[in-house]
Amino acid sequence: MIEIKNVSTSYVKGQKIIDKMNLKIEDKTIFGFIGPNGAGKTTTLEMITGVLQIDEGDILIDGKSIKKDPIEAKKLFGFVPDSPDMFEKLTGIEYLNFIGDIYKVNPKQRLEIVEKLSRELNIYNHLKERIQSYSHGMKQKLLIISVLLYNPKNWILDEPMTGLDPQASYILKELMKEHARKGNTVFFSTHVLEVAEKICDKIAVINKGKIIYTGSIENLKEQVKNDASLEESFLELIDRKKE
């Protein structure tokens, strides 16, 4: 479970980019985080994962504060960033071993998980090559495997489908569903509304650093207009806030 409690942050003093945000992502949920470019999606995820400092409020991961107890909180999530910038000079296997060492995953478990997932995601034959030779999608796949390697309870993914081929995209969606079914949390940002519509149990819409909607997709559609698509509802919601 991820709880965002009254959180604010700013890059420049006095200019809040996230303003008093409150959000609760329950277990057994796939939670979509939707918003236009520059709305604050990545900033929010970076605050949850401890990359960005929180000016006010707090964020709890399974009850552990990222502010006060960052190490314990960081053990409880796996993060896939939007741009798969990784240690390009390492080979895929060296990177996975690095993550395995940090999260103390035993070699047998590493072999099993890496073998299974890398074959499914079709990068098995490239794991001994340097990451610098990987395409965007391959880097994304490697990041996903690295997160699944230590199987954290909470998955936090920033635009995870970007750069993935249809097969990998399908597999990831299935993995997300399975993870939530097992009682865990999946929190991901996206601007692809079809993806959100297909797999999310709940969504939050963010605009200009503020949450403007939290709930199910069905509710959102009902609030806006009956029989509207998620895309229409989303645009309507954003327009309303502009007014």
Partner 1 sequence: MKSLTNIIIKNSKRQEIQETLKEKILSFIAFIIVFGFLTVTMISISYTVTYKLKEINQTYTFINILLLMNFIILFAKSVFESLNVLYFSKDLKQLLKMPIKPKDIVHAKLINMIISEYQMEIIMLAIPMIIYGIIMRVKILFYLYILITLIILPIIPIITTSIITAIIMRFSNKLKNKAQVMYITIIVTAIIIDFLFTGFKPISVSNYEFEKAILEKNGVATIISNQFALLKPIMNTILNYNNIEGAKNLTIYILESLSIYIVGLFIISKVYLKGAIGTTINSKKAKKENKKLTINDFKQEKANKAYLKKELRTILRTPIFCIQCIIIPLIYPLIILSVLIIAIILSKNMGVNITEKLLEIINTSSGQAIFLGVAQVFFMMNFCSIIGISKDSKTAILTKTLPMELNNQFDIKTKIGKRINLLSTVIVTFAYYYTVQNINASIIVFSILYLMNSIGENIKLLIDIKKPQINWNSEYTMMKQNTNVMNVLFYTLAVLMGLLVISKIIKKANIFLVTLLIISLVAYLAITNYINKNQNKIFRKIY
Kindly list the residues in this chain that would bind partner 1 in the complex (CB under 8 A).
Answer: 11, 46, 49-53, 70-72, 74-75, 79, 81, 83, 85-90, 93-94, 97-98, 100-104, 106-108, 110-111, 114-115, 118, 124-125, 127-130, 132-135, 138
63 or 215, CB closer to partner 1? Answer: 63
Minimum gap (Å) between residue 90 Cβ and partner 1: 6
Task: Quote the CA–CA distance of 141 and 28 in Å, as a whole number.
Answer: 24
- Tell me which amino acid residue 42 is: T
83 or 216, CB closer to partner 1? Answer: 83
Sequence-ordered list of residues with C-beta below 8 angstroms from that of 152, at least 6 positions apart, any chain:
75, 76, 77, 78
Q: Are strands 202-207 and 210-215 parallel, antiparallel or unpaired?
A: antiparallel
DSSP character string of 129-155: SBGGGS-HHHHHHHHHHHHHHS--SEE
Please report the beta strands in 35-137, taking only residues with DSSP state E, as ranges in sequence order.
Answer: 56-61, 64-65, 77-80
Q: CB of 21 within 8 A of CB of 58? A: no
Minimum gap (Å) between residue 147 Cβ and partner 1: 10
Minimum gap (Å) between residue 233 Cβ and partner 1: 32
Q: Are strands 154-158 and 77-80 parallel, antiparallel or unpaired?
A: parallel
Minimum gap (Å) between residue 6 Cβ and partner 1: 19
Minimum gap (Å) between residue 2 Cβ and partner 1: 14
Minimum gap (Å) between residue 191 Cβ and partner 1: 20
The sign one gets for the Cα dihedral 240, 223, 198, 112 is: positive
107 or 166, CB closer to partner 1? Answer: 107
Minimum gap (Å) between residue 107 Cβ and partner 1: 4
DSSP state for residue 31 in the 8-state scheme: E
Task: Quote the CA–CA distance of 110 and 181 in Å, as a whole number.
Answer: 23
19 or 94, CB closer to partner 1? Answer: 94
164 or 205, CB closer to partner 1? Answer: 164
53 or 167, CB closer to partner 1? Answer: 53
157 or 195, CB closer to partner 1? Answer: 157
Task: Quote the CA–CA distance of 88 and 90 in Å, as a whole number.
Answer: 5
Q: CB of 165 within 8 A of CB of 137? A: yes
